[in-house]
Structure 1
Amino acid sequence: MYLSRVRVATAGLDAHALGQLMAGHAYGNHQLLWRLFPEVTDRPFLFRQELEHDAGLHGSARGMPMFYVLSQVEPIPVPGLLECESKPFAPKLETGQQLAFRLRANPVVARAEEGRRRSRRHDVLMDAKKAAKEEGITDRLMVQERMEDAARAWLGDSERAARRGYRLPIDPQTSGYRQHTFRRKGGEIRFSSIDFEGRLEVTDPERFLQTLEEGIGRSRAFGCGMWMIRRLES
């Protein structure tokens, strides 16, 4: 795998593409990053959008969006449009190892519904909000707490975590809940995202390495599911 930091030369964008970039338009940014992989037909990457000044680029930060990209093949910079700093990414993981992590994910739950052949996916946070209101909870902060608890329960679910090779020893922090809506050929796409930050323990190094490569949750093509990890200082 390769981990890359990608910056955009905005002079190479037309007004529409620049507007999508600044608005964090997930589909447009996904299409933009595809240009780093001209020889590949199946999507080989996950990405996470941040701002340059939040990514430690203090000397050259422009306050512009930038991307972290995790890919199976090395990206090729696009002169005049996409600048790319890449390095091989092959973390050595051990059972019981503790890692700090950041993750932007789209938590959903699938439920069978009468009259439907397939289960319907529900936004975990909106599901919790609806349940809270049905219980008569109207306080905004209490409803928000229910929503964030539901998100943490989704990520820390013991069965999901075991399949993915990790466990959460403490509840992560949550922030940045956002609902995304955009149109493309074939209809409208809606999804939500929330940011997690905390500490995890590797329970199965092979499975967790696969989890890093594949990402977690839905909407991985649109900037969700990519784990950012670092070793904890001893």
Structure 2
Amino acid sequence: MTYLSRIRINPLRKDSRKLLSNPRAVHGAVMGGLPNHKPDDRVLWRMDPDNPHRPHLFVLSPTRPDWTHIIQDCGWPDADGDHAAVRDYTPLLSQLAVGREFAFRLTASPVQNTATPTKATPSQAARLTAHAEDGKRIRGFRMGHRTAAAQLDWFLTRTDRWGFDIPATRSDPTAPGIHTPAPPTAPHPTSPPGPDPNPPYEVRITARHRHSFQKNGHGAHVVFRSATFEGRLRITDTDRFTTSLLTGLGPSRAYGCGLLTLAPLPGQQT
């Protein structure tokens, strides 16, 4: 059985500030709440700091968790309300069907593989030199996309394999009584009339970050970029979509990327 948890974080506490600044610390705290975790179990999490006064940590786990340690160290242990809401994921999975639409949020790490990095790090430069000397073909480097346009393109070109698509932006008719002037007519149109071949889609990037930290505080240096996508999706393949929800999207899943969460659209019944 799979569980989705939402944990309130108090940003004023010392341990909370560590969680909010270091994905490695969050990973350790999350794994500490899963006593029955197995090595091959997939655990996904995401920190949502959009409300700076009350961030939320979301966790998708294959076993029922216990978040007492996070509540005690990083929450409001004596305050009213749900400190950690833990819900069975099965009811949501049972609602999935082709054509069903949901609002969504996803923090992912958009990457590309290239054998010719624009600004090679010292270790990458050493590898390039070594392979040039021995004449062997070098394996591509995984590089994070830096621009919002590239990150959005990365997302949109992968939705089919993940079992959904992003509908084109809806255009509502003008309200009665409001006059909208007609656009000027070009005397010699450069393209034939017809639908826009590249319509805007129901998705936007709401946050972009560069993460840099050391494993265990003194180990290998980890650097990656993340982008948070929000919008509306439509299921195209139930099996693929279910797999995407349960296993995550893209790389850096241990560090807060890959968890796709859903919510009903306005007026939609759950």
TM-score (norm 1): 0.76
Contact 1:76 1:84 in 2 (8 A): no
Please point out which of 101, 111, 123 is paired with 2:114.
111
| Matched position secondary structure for 2:36 | coil
- Is 1:120 the counterpart of 2:120? The answer is no
Q: C-alpha displacement at 1:50, in angstroms? A: 2.1
Q: Percent identity?
A: 29
1:163 aligned partner: 161
Q: C-alpha displacement at 1:9, in angstroms? A: 7.3
Amino acid of the structure 2 residue aligned with 1:103: L
1:86/1:205 CA distance change after superposition, 3 Å:
same
1:36 aligned partner: 33
Amino acid of the structure 1 residue aligned with 2:109: N
- Is 1:98 the counterpart of 2:101? The answer is yes
Please point out which of 186, 208, 227 is paired with 1:194.
227
The unaligned stretches of length 5 or more in structure 2 are 76-82, 117-127, 132-136, 169-200
- Is 1:231 the counterpart of 2:264? The answer is yes
Q: Comparing 205-214 with 70-79, which one deviates more in the overlay?
A: 70-79
Amino acid of the structure 2 residue aligned with 1:109: Q
For 1:5-154, what aligned pairs fall within 5 Å after superposition?
5-8=6-9, 15=14, 17-21=15-19, 23-42=20-39, 44-51=42-49, 54=51, 63-78=53-68, 80-81=72-73, 83-90=83-90, 91=92, 92-113=95-116, 115=131, 117-124=138-145, 126=146, 147-154=147-154
Q: C-alpha displacement at 1:68, in angstroms? A: 0.9
Question: Separation in 1 of the partners of 2:36 and 2:115?
Answer: 40
| Matched position secondary structure for 2:228 | strand
Question: Separation in 2 of the partners of 1:76 and 1:210?
Answer: 25
Question: Separation in 2 of the partners of 1:26 and 1:45?
Answer: 14
The unaligned stretches of length 5 or more in structure 1 are 55-61, 127-146
Contact 1:35 1:78 in 2 (8 A): no
Deviations 1:77-106 (A, max 9, x none): 325347532111122211111111111111
2:177 aligned partner: none
Question: Separation in 1 of the partners of 2:148 and 2:10?
Answer: 36
Amino acid of the structure 1 residue aligned with 2:99: G
Contact 1:5 1:85 in 2 (8 A): yes
Question: Separation in 2 of the partners of 1:18 and 1:188?
Answer: 22
1:47/1:193 CA distance change after superposition, 3 Å:
same
Question: Separation in 2 of the partners of 1:149 and 1:168?
Answer: 16
Question: Separation in 1 of the partners of 2:236 and 2:210?
Answer: 32
Higher helix share: 1
Question: Separation in 1 of the partners of 2:67 and 2:16?
Answer: 18
- RMSD of aligned alpha carbons: 2.5
Amino acid of the structure 2 residue aligned with 1:46: L
Question: Separation in 2 of the partners of 1:76 and 1:118?
Answer: 42
Matched residues, number: 199
Contact 1:44 1:73 in 2 (8 A): no
| Matched position secondary structure for 1:102 | strand
Contact 2:104 2:233 in 1 (8 A): yes
Contact 2:11 2:53 in 1 (8 A): no
Q: C-alpha displacement at 1:64, in angstroms? A: 4.3
1:167/1:120 CA distance change after superposition, 3 Å:
same
Contact 2:42 2:61 in 1 (8 A): yes
Contact 1:177 1:194 in 2 (8 A): yes
